[in-house]
Amino acid sequence: MKNFFSNFFGRNNDPKSIVSFDVIDSIYASLYNEENRFEFKMKGIHDTVSVNLYSFPNSFNNEDAQNEIKKAGFENAYEVLNELYKKLNIGAISEEDIQAELEYDYIHIQFYTEPPTPEMKKHLKHVLHNFAIFFCCTNSLETNDFRILYNNSYFLDYTRGILDTEYIDINDPKNDVQKIGFKEFERVLQGICQHLNIAIPENVNLPSDENLLPEEVELTQEIFEEFIKLVSRGNVDEKLLQKQSKKLLKNFKKESKEYHEIVANHWSFFESIDCWNSDWKFDPEDAEYFISEMIGEDLNFEYPEETYSHDLFPYIQSALEKRNLELMTYDTHGDNYLFFVANKNDVDRILELSELTKIEINQL
């Protein structure tokens, strides 16, 4: 059951905006009446979009959450909710309603974007965005409005995480992270509606004219051949291309649950092309030598003294960019890197094929 309180903000129901009550309430109804949590893939979004319907106090009626509440200095979930309502200028829950154990629902949406600035890219591969949507009433006794709390931190302690959010106006980002996050939030809402088969009102200005859900693609040997050609920059003979593409496809179809079995086949492939296997610690001289070997020409790059390992990536990439190249890595999930060099124009397609083939490629 939804319960709401009056506030003093204007309503969030611009009929032309996808970030409006009509759209948000449709998503809520689907979550409430059908599946209350799900994850889905979406074009242009790293990993998955996570959508959860939570409620106070029920979602916090477990030992871990109760410990988090006490650790945060509160006695119960209602006190936490009232703390959030202060940020949203929503009236506090009365003692009478607490004793009646009424439930108060909210939607939590999480997704990742690329870091918005070159400086951030030196330290982060992706930025997490959290949007917590709370319903309320504006000049009405019925539900007709919502307010959003936001942060871009990981919720390792969920209670602390939700308490550290801030009220935001989706049309007024305060920095580059919020700017890209708020813009993508509009696309994510459209993606959620497509995933849930929710009809978006015709008068809404859609963020995108395309289908935001990935098309179902049947994995074929030709797809693996394309992947091999791109990560090897075409430096692979036909016999090896056929052999490795067949092997990778066979490995994919086996759907092995043992990670080491999957990786063994991936390693076999990467060993057949120009790559560099290094532990997490490497010197700039090593990088210059091995990358020069991979690209077939001397690569020298400038870097500050006492700079090593991952701190070298921005300087390496800057030098490679002049050659329209980019250093990438296969994610070994271990204490080592497996590097290769790709043509910069091919990077987006390599990442798309990485998703399809389950061969985990990362940008640096």
* Token representation of residue 96: 């009478």
Query: What is the model's pLDDT at position 236?
Result: 83
Judge whether 278 and 336 are in contact, CB under 8 Å.
Answer: yes
Nearest to 25 by CA among 166, 185, 134: 134
Question: Please, is 303 exposed, middle or buried when counting C-beta atoms within 10 Å of its C-beta (0-12, 13-18, 19+)?
Answer: middle
* Token representation of residue 220: 């074929």
Give, as one character, the DSSP assignment of residue 62: S
Query: What is the model's pLDDT at position 7?
Result: 39
Q: How many CA atoms lie within 13 A of 51 on its CB side?
A: 24
Axis crossing angle, helix 21-33 with helix 176-196, rounded to the nearest 10: 50
What is the chain's pLDDT, residue by residue, as a tens digit (364 residues)? 444 443 334 567 777 899 999 999 999 999 999 999 999 999 888 888 999 999 999 999 999 999 999 999 999 999 999 999 999 999 899 999 999 999 999 999 999 998 887 777 767 778 999 999 999 888 777 888 999 999 999 999 999 999 999 999 999 999 999 999 999 999 999 999 999 999 999 899 999 998 999 877 788 999 999 999 999 998 888 888 888 888 888 878 776 555 455 666 676 777 777 889 888 889 999 999 999 999 999 988 888 888 889 889 989 999 999 999 999 998 877 788 889 999 999 998 999 898 888 888 888 8
Query: What is the model's pLDDT at position 1?
Result: 41
What is the CB neighbour count within 10 angstroms for residue 198? 15
Question: Please, is 301 exposed, middle or buried when counting C-beta atoms within 10 Å of its C-beta (0-12, 13-18, 19+)?
Answer: middle
Provide the whole-model pTM: 0.71
Axis crossing angle, helix 238-254 with helix 221-231, rounded to the nearest 10: 120
- Cα–Cα dist 82/102, whole Å: 13
Query: What is the model's pLDDT at position 290?
Result: 93
